[in-house]
Amino acid sequence: MLDSSTPIQWLGADILTTLVFLPSLGALLLLLLPNGAKNAIRAVALLASGATFALSVLVLQRFNPAIAGLEAFRPLLVDRPWIPRFGIRYLLGVDGLSLILVVLTTLLTLCVLVFSFGQTIPKLRGYVAAFLVLETGMIGSLVALDAVLFYVFWEVMLVPMYFIIGIWGGKRRIYATMKFVLFTLAGSLLMFVAILFASGVHAKATGILTFSLLEWIPAASSGAWSLTASEQALLFWAFALAFLVKVPLWPLHTWLPDAHVEAPTGGSIILAGVLLKLGTYGLLRFAIPLFPGAAARYTPLIAVLALIGVVYGAWVAAAQKDMKKLVAYSSVSHLALVVLGIFAGNVTAVSGAVMQMVGHGLTTGLLFLLVGVLYERRHTREMADYGGVASQVPVTTTLFVIAMLGSVGLPGLNGFVGEFLILAGVFKANVWWAAFAATGLILGAIYLLTLTQKVFWGPNRVEANLGLTDINGWELAGALPMIVLVVVLGVWPQPVLDLVRNSVETVVQIASVRMVP
């Protein structure tokens, strides 16, 4: 095996650049194909997303999780000038945290595209192209270490998602997609101002004009940045708001149910599976390490909001009649728990949060996928329109039950690991938070079990369901990798925990310094 410090070149480009832009290359290729060439479109989709996934696994294999601190980025670092006069660099790098999310992204995109071949999707070419461009934006956001570059990729994600919801969505799709864009943009524009301001202060304090996290984070921990307390607080909130809108944390969550319900199935899977995680990723990568003092000061406030989110999301989910809306609100609840874990500030809780980011991506992605299978056949998501369909769709039912139990947090499945670690860590930080959060989890079990019971078990009340066909080959091929991972990572979560341990410890250590000026 090659030494991990050897730079990997592929067709003259470094591996991270290839990883980021390979999907977009596929999207460009699609433009050359005629709209009707269904098989060619499928081939390009498979090739582009499959190669990207394979490449991300290659990076995973080359990555050395033993390196601690910011040095972890070093072996695969790509550092080129982009706009040199303003110190803006094309700076890409991965650590355990970003890498596990990159692999989740490439896997889910591949699964979504494969799954979509089994569904009737008009204008397939545009659909596939949008997902591939979106993939570039997602991977780019995860590997960018220059704040401006990160912002660029962050906004690049916005446009394809806007089209995915707006063109392939349901009846209220335009309302939903505009709400999604405006909410996200409101947060990210504030972050943009904060980035510019932060670099200005950094340049005045240190004489170095840079947007690089690898210089900002040490400057923040050593105090060389010399931000006043109020500046730190404002900057923290500008960043945190952008990320908390994306998560979304109560009370910033209102765009999410609309977007999820109106989005096509693939859009919902990516939205829940990856985009929401980018919010929590941003907290761990930017908001907390850059402004640890302010993060510590506002932890109680954010924890309270997260606790409200955990219970509120679960409570509202329990009242839903629409399956997709139910899963959407369950996301609000689950992600609030992740935020709570992140702000608990110890290694156990943050590891659990990262684990749960992966776990939620898989289980909730699966739930959306399986709801999409039913919707494709019956064109309804009302629970009342189903009932006792288990005998008609045994495979779908089995998959749904596994995903549901994973989401509930059944030991042996992947959701359990994350939730357990979060609760154990939160318990160390604050007993009351843990107690309160646990009630949300119990509620979660109730509504998800009720959903399964109403849809799949019991007598078959609706005649139209008698002819319901089971999940088809493509759809199953899209779901299987996710199901396998839910089980495997439930039984054997250690590889993921090993991978992210050093990143998590770095964040926790930076946060615990708490440089309150």
Helices (H), 379-472: 394-408, 414-429, 431-456
316/334 Cα distance (integer angstroms): 13
For another protein, the closer CB: 99 or 238? 238
Q: Give yes or no for residue 196 binding another protein (CB under 8 A).
A: yes
Does 197 participate in binding another protein (rule CB under 8 A)? yes
Taking CB under 8 A as the rule, does residue 28 contact another protein? Answer: no
In sequence order, the β-bridge partners of residue 16 are none
Site of tokens 């659990």: 352
As measured in angstroms, the least distance from the Cβ of 169 to another protein is 9
Question: CA 158 → CA 105, 136, 137, 141, distances in Å?
Answer: 16, 12, 8, 12
Closer residue to another protein in complex, CB, 262/475: 262
Q: Which two tokens stand for residue 404?
A: 């549901």
Shortest Å distance, C-beta 451 to another protein = 31
Q: Which of 41, 102, 110, 148 binds another protein (CB under 8 A)?
A: 148
Residue 450: helix, strand or coil by DSSP? Answer: helix
Q: Which x/- pattern, by CB under 8 A, does the window 106-145 give for another protein?
A: ----------------------------------------
> Which residue carries 């109403």 as its tokens?
454
Residue type for position 101:
L
Q: Does residue 83 belong to the site contacting another protein (CB under 8 A)?
A: yes
Distance separating alpha carbons of residues 235 and 372, to the nearest angstrom:
40
State the Cα torsion 305-440-337-401 to the nearest 10°.
-150
Q: Does 193 bind another protein (CB under 8 A)?
A: yes
Rounded to whole angstroms, the Cα distance separating 394 from 390 reads: 5
CB of 472 to another protein, least distance (A): 28
Binding range to another protein, per CB under 8 A, among 95-103, 153-161, 405-413, 471-479: 153-161
H or E element that contains 469: none
Piece in contact with another protein (CB under 8 A), picked from 66-74, 102-110, 162-170, 250-258: 162-170
Q: Taking CB under 8 A as the rule, does residue 424 contact another protein?
A: no
CB of 198 to another protein, least distance (A): 10
Give me the least distance between CB of 186 and another protein, in Å please. 6
Query: Strands 88-92 and 78-83, how do they pair?
Result: antiparallel
Quote the least distance from Cβ 393 to another protein, whole Å: 32
Report 242-271 residues binding another protein (CB under 8 A). none
3-state secondary structure of 496: helix
- Residue 200 binds another protein (CB under 8 A): yes
Judge contact between 41 and 122, C-beta under 8 A.
no
3-state DSSP percent of the chain in helix, strand and coil, to 5: 80, 5, 20
The answer to whether 326 and 320 have CB atoms below 8 angstroms apart is yes
Q: Is residue 491 involved in binding another protein (CB under 8 A)? A: no
Residue closer to another protein, measured from CB, 126 or 292 = 126
- Binding residues for another protein, per CB under 8 A? 83-86, 148, 151-152, 155-156, 158-159, 162-163, 166-167, 173-174, 177-178, 181-182, 185-186, 189-190, 192-193, 196-197, 200
